[in-house]
Amino acid sequence: MSIQEICRVAECARLGEGLYSITMHAPAICEKTQVGQFVHIACGEGNLLRRPISICDWQDGNLRIVFQVKGEGTKWLAARKEGDELDVLGPLGHGFDTKALGAKPVFIGGGIGVPPMLACVKKAAGEGAQPRAILGFRNKDAVILENDFKAVCEVFVTTDDGSYARHGFVTDVLKEIVADATGVAACGPKPMLKAIAAIADEAGLPCQVSMEERMGCGIGACLVCACALKAENGETRYGHVCKDGPVFDTKEVEW
Ligand SMILES: Cc1cc2nc3c(=O)[nH]c(=O)nc-3n(C[C@H](O)[C@H](O)[C@H](O)COP(=O)(O)OP(=O)(O)OC[C@H]3O[C@@H](n4cnc5c(N)ncnc54)[C@H](O)[C@@H]3O)c2cc1C
Ligand code: FES
């Protein structure tokens, strides 16, 4: 059951070029939130549709989102100030099942797919698991949340161009540590998710991925976010990313 809540902005921070963090007071939504779910935010009168943004973290009734400015909606969001009110619908969707990933889960984020993995590593650590995180970015300027993850678990950072940390892709690191893992969860660009799913599958590990599609209603009523999934009989069926996902078991995904 999702809730529409008017949330007062408690903290805004610029994390890098076009990258922002907003913490808002959202006690009713926080009470129901599971890791990997998202909120749908009204972004000003000129933008008819709400914008879907993953829940990065939440604590004591305060909910944090981290986002990149893409177009008009996120530009409007980035201009919010402490004390402003946001019209937020959430928590929406189906999140990650951290317990199903075992005692040594690996959480992987690519670019703006990194934020929702923060709550995942915290939850897994709280459940007594030994999570590790692999965070991949385009370059040094795009690196976000590294210290937030380091406060919780062992972290591997990669950059595509080698301008910071390890030169390469998250999959290079995953291949090296997969033998010592019990499950994998990831959020990021589709080609990255597909490559991760293949590595986890070869290692015989459970793997969950958060998929992204353009959204309209965010609650399963408009079909904008339709995605192809595998039916049990091997045929293709269609699901809603907003309601059936955004997190799916990779065995269900029709790549
Ligand atoms: C489940 C989910 C979680 C997300 N989490 C995050 C996050 O944590 N941080 C973050 O920076 N971004 C996230 N995104 C992407 C974010 O929703 C888009 O960048 C944002 O909607 C763009 O809106 P805009 O008005 O700035 O851009 P415009 O391109 O002007 O948007 C025009 C329309 O297209 C839709 N749209 C455009 N790009 C996307 C997209 N990638 N996904 C869905 N709808 C889109 C917008 O909602 C809007 O209706 C997420 C998307 C989904 C589906
Ligand atoms: S966004 Fe409308 S059905 Fe998913």
Residues 5-14 pLDDT 10s:
999 999 999 9
Q: Give Cα separations from 218 to 14, 183, 190, 240 (angstroms).
A: 27, 28, 20, 9
What is residue 99's predicted lDDT score, i.e. its pLDDT? 97
Element (H, E) at 177: helix 170-177
Residues of the chain with pLDDT under 70: none
Q: Which CATH class is domain 3-92?
A: mainly beta
Every domain of the chain with CATH number 3.40.50.80 lies at 98-208
Spacing, Cα 78 to ligand 2 middle (Å): 24
What is residue 232's predicted lDDT score, i.e. its pLDDT? 83
**Protein fold of 211-255:** Dihydroorotate dehydrogenase B (pyrk subunit); domain 3 (2.10.240)
Architecture of domain 98-208: 3-Layer(aba) Sandwich (3.40)
What is residue 46's predicted lDDT score, i.e. its pLDDT? 87
Residue 245, ligand 1, Cβ within 6 A: no
What is residue 181's predicted lDDT score, i.e. its pLDDT? 98
Using CA atoms, how far apart are residues 206 and 106, in angstroms rounded to an integer? 11
What is residue 1's predicted lDDT score, i.e. its pLDDT? 77
Spacing, Cα 43 to ligand 2 middle (Å): 17
Every domain of the chain with CATH number 2.40.30.10 lies at 3-92
Protein residue with least CA distance to atom 14, ligand 1: 53
Q: Contact, 58 vs 27, CB < 8 A?
A: no
Using CA atoms, how far apart are residues 70 and 133, in angstroms rounded to an integer? 26
Torsion of CA 236, 242, 244, 248, to 10 degrees: 80
Every domain of the chain with CATH number 2.10.240.10 lies at 211-255
**Counting ligands in written order, which one lies closest to the CA of residue 72?**
1
Task: Determine the residue of 39, 114, 212, 244 to mutate for testing ligand 1's pocket, defined as the one with the most ligand atoms within 8 A of the Cβ atom.
Answer: 212
Spacing, Cα 51 to ligand 2 middle (Å): 12
**Counting ligands in written order, which one lies closest to the CA of residue 245?**
1
